Amino acid sequence: MNIFNNAALLIGVPLLFAFSIPLFGLISKELAKWVTLLTIGFNASFSFYILFAHKYPTMVVMGNWLPPFGENLYIGPVAAFLVFVISMIGLLIAIYNLWAIKKGDVIRFSVLFLMFTAGASGIVLTGDIFNLFIFMEITGISSYALAAFGPERRALGGAFKFLVVSSIGSTLYLMGVTLIYTQLGTLNIAEIAARINQTTPGLLTFAGILIISGLAVEAELFPFNGWVPDTYTGAINGVSASLSGIAAISAVYALFRIAMTVFGKSGGAYVSTYGKIDLMALIALLATATVIIGELSALSQKNVKKMLAYSSMAQMGLIAVGFSIGNKLGVYGGIFQLVNHSIAKSMLFLIVGVLVAVGVGENIDDFKGLWKRNPFLTLTFSIGAFSMLGFPLFGGFWSKFSIVAASVQRGGWYDFIIGLVLFASVVEAFYYLRIVAYMFASDVELPKVKTPITPAIPIFILAVSIVAIGIFPQIVGTFSAQAAGELTHKMSGYILHVIPSIAAH
C-alpha cells in the first residue's frame, strides 16, 4: 500500500478555486477564465508529475480512514493516465474558451467548466462506488448547465433531453449500488470486487444490469444514447468538444471499472463477469449496435456538427467493443482508442466552432473549397478525420488495429462483431472522406477567412499530437498497456494495491 495523500490536491485545488472564482469574477471576467485555465493547468502539470515522476499505483486516503472503511482515491496506471489526458484536453479547451466565451455569464461558465473537468478526473480517481456517483453527478450537473449555455434555443432542448435520460440513468445506478450494499455491506470498490462472488447470483445480476444501464447513458451506448445528437448539436462547440473529449473518457472508464473490476472474474484469458449473464458480452452487444447505428445515422447528415455527434456515439461503441473483448490487447486498444477519440473529436468540434464563429457555417456545403479559404483549419480537420477512420500513421490507426487484432485473437462470435464493426467503419470512412474531398474542392470561389490565434493554439497542439501518436504510438501505447494490465487483472492490478491484507488469504 503506497499512500500519496497530496494527490488529493487534484480534487481539492479545483474545488477551492471553483468556489473562489465568483470572487475573482468581481474583479474581471477575463480573470475568471484565466483562473480556470491556470487551475486546470495545475491539474495537468500535477498529473503529469504523477504520471512521469511519481511511483504509482498509489492511493489517496481521505480523512485518514483507510479503505475499505473510509473513502480513497486510487491512482493506478489507468487513473494516472486518464487524469492526465482529461486535464490536458480540459486545458486546451480552456484556452479555446478564452476566445470563444465572450458573452453571457462568463464567470459561472468558468466555474462549471472547471468543475466539469475536475469531476471527470474525480470519476477516474475515486475508489468508492458511491463517491463515483457523486462525481458523476458533479460532471452531469455541470454538463447539463454547460449544454444549455448559449444563445441558440436548440441548446436548451438538447440539455433537457440529456437531463431527463441522465437522471433516470443515475437513479438506476444508485439502485444498483444500494442492492450491492445490501449484500456486501460495503461501498469500497476493492472490497466489493474481492467479495463479489459472495452475493446471490440473481441479485448480483440485477444490480449489475441496473448499474450498467445507468452508466451506459453517459457512455453513449445504444438504447441509452438518445440524448447524444441533440445535445451535441445544441451545445456550443467548446462544450460539445468537452463532452466528447472529457465526459466520454470518464463515463467509459466508470462503465468498465464496474464491469471488469467490480463484477469481473479474476483469472482466465478473457475477463467475464459473475452473475447469470456475462455483462461483458452484454456490453459487447450494445457496443456493436451502437457502432452500427451511430455510423449509419451519421452517414446521411448534412450538418457536420450533428455528423460528428453521431460519429462520437459510434466511436464510443467502438471503444466499448475494444474493452469488452476483455483480453489485454482489447483493453489496450480500447484505451488507446479512447485517447485518440477524445483528442481527435474534441479537435474537430473546436474546428467547427472556429468555422462557425468566423462565418463559414456548419453544414457540409459550407465546407466546400475550404482548402482555399483556410488551409490551416482544413489540414487539421483532415488530420482529425483521418485519425477517426483509422488511417495509418495517424493516431486512430493503432487503436483500431489493436481492437481488430484482439477480437481476432478472441475469435468466436467476436469475429462476427468485428466484421460488423468494420462494415460500419467503411461507412464512417465514407462520410469523413466525403467532407475531406469537399474541403479540397477547388471549384468554389469564396473569400478567404482568417484563423484567430487563440483557438488555433489548442487545435494545433491537438493535431500535432495526433500525428505524433500516429508516428510514435509508444507515447500512448506504453501507458495503455499498463492500464490494460490493471483492468484485466483485477486482483493484482487493483484490489491488492488498495487492500493488501486481502492477499493474506
Nearest distance from C-beta of residue 197 to another protein, angstroms:
9
Per-residue interface string for the shown chain with another protein, residues 344-373, x marking contact by CB under 8 A: ------------------------------
Alpha-carbon distance of 118 to 142, in angstroms, equals 11
Contact between 273 and 279 (Cβ < 8 Å): yes
Nearest distance from C-beta of residue 207 to another protein, angstroms:
7
Per-residue interface string for the shown chain with another protein, residues 167-196, x marking contact by CB under 8 A: xxx-xx-xx--xx-xxx-xxxx--x--xx-
Nearest distance from C-beta of residue 457 to another protein, angstroms:
26
Residue 457, interface with another protein (CB under 8 A)?
A: no
Point out which residues pair with 264 in neighbouring strands.
273
Point out which residues pair with 380 in neighbouring strands.
none
Judging by beta carbons within 10 Å of its beta carbon (0-12, 13-18, 19+), is residue 92 exposed, middle or buried?
Answer: buried
Contact between 183 and 152 (Cβ < 8 Å): no
Residue 108, interface with another protein (CB under 8 A)?
A: yes
Question: Number of helices and strands (H, E) in the chain?
Answer: 22, 2
Residue 381, interface with another protein (CB under 8 A)?
A: no
3-state secondary structure 225-263: CCCHHHHHHHCCHHHHHHHHHHHHHHHHHHHHHHHHHHC
Hey, which residues between 415 and 454 contact another protein (CB under 8 A)? 418-419, 422, 425-427, 429-430, 433-434, 437, 440-443
**Closest of 241, 298, 236, 291 to residue 106, by C-alpha:** 236
Residue 69, interface with another protein (CB under 8 A)?
A: yes
Nearest distance from C-beta of residue 88 to another protein, angstroms:
21
Among the listed ranges 33-41, 208-216, 315-323, 377-385, the one in contact with another protein (CB under 8 A) is 208-216
Hey, which residues between 310 and 349 contact another protein (CB under 8 A)? 310
Residue 209, interface with another protein (CB under 8 A)?
A: yes
Residue 109, interface with another protein (CB under 8 A)?
A: yes
Residue 479, interface with another protein (CB under 8 A)?
A: no
Residue 77, interface with another protein (CB under 8 A)?
A: no
Please state whether the peptide bond connecting residue 57 to the residue before it is cis, i.e. omega within 30 degrees of 0: yes
Q: Which is nearer to another protein, 3 or 464 (CB)?
A: 3
Nearest distance from C-beta of residue 389 to another protein, angstroms:
8
Per-residue interface string for the shown chain with another protein, residues 129-168, x marking contact by CB under 8 A: -xx--xx-xx-xxx-xx--xx-x-xx-xx-xxx-xxx-xx
**What letter does residue 59 receive in the DSSP assignment?**
E
Alpha-carbon distance of 305 to 351, in angstroms, equals 10
Nearest distance from C-beta of residue 311 to another protein, angstroms:
13
Alpha-carbon distance of 205 to 279, in angstroms, equals 8
